[in-house]
Amino acid sequence: MVENNTRLNNVYNRWPKKREFLAYYMLYKKYGNACNIGDAVNDLTREFKLTKRASINVLKRLKSMRFISIEACRGEVRITIKPLDEILDKYLENYVKKRSTRCPHSRSPQLL
């Protein structure tokens, strides 16, 4: 369980690249919480002037960073998009944990 929790926190260590974050934000604003993977690839290809392969790679990175989840549902592949505040809460929680263990003099009561 400790290893799994550590791995989960490692996901939120790296801030997304500009293209990854803006791709996530565009999908979140356009579709809300779910969309078809084909629509997402086409939108990224059209809006960001990417190849389909690059669009798929962006979606894979978003999945590995847990911004989205990809699942098959009734013969189509759907993307579930996490809310922005949930993602930012995870990054904040991870940052505060790392900061409190790295700088013992700055330990203060739990913020969250």
Q: What is the pLDDT of residues 45-55, one digit of tens each?
A: 999 999 999 99
User: For residue 30, is it within any domain?
Assistant: yes
User: For residue 110, is it within any domain?
Assistant: no
Q: Residue 22 maps to which CATH number?
A: 1.10.10.10
User: For residue 27, is it within any domain?
Assistant: yes
Q: How confident is the model at residue 15 (pLDDT cuts 50, 70, 90)?
A: confident
Domain enclosing residue 58, as ranges: 2-102
Q: How confident is the model at residue 1 (pLDDT cuts 50, 70, 90)?
A: very low
Residue among 70, 88, 61, 64 at smallest CA distance from 10: 64
Residue labelled with tokens 């690839």: 41
User: For residue 112, is it within any domain?
Assistant: no
Residue among 111, 110, 3, 17 at smallest CA distance from 64: 17
User: For residue 107, is it within any domain?
Assistant: no
Give residue 102's identity as a one-letter amino acid code.
R
Q: What is the pLDDT of residues 58-103, one digit of tens each?
A: 999 999 999 999 998 788 899 999 999 999 998 898 888 887 776 6
Q: What angle do CA 94, 71, 35 make, to 5 degrees?
A: 90
Q: Model pTM?
A: 0.77
Q: Count structural domains, the chain.
A: 1
CA 80 to chain centre: 11
Residue 106 has pLDDT above 70, yes or no: no
User: For residue 16, is it within any domain?
Assistant: yes
Which tokens is 98 given?
């790392």
User: For residue 22, is it within any domain?
Assistant: yes
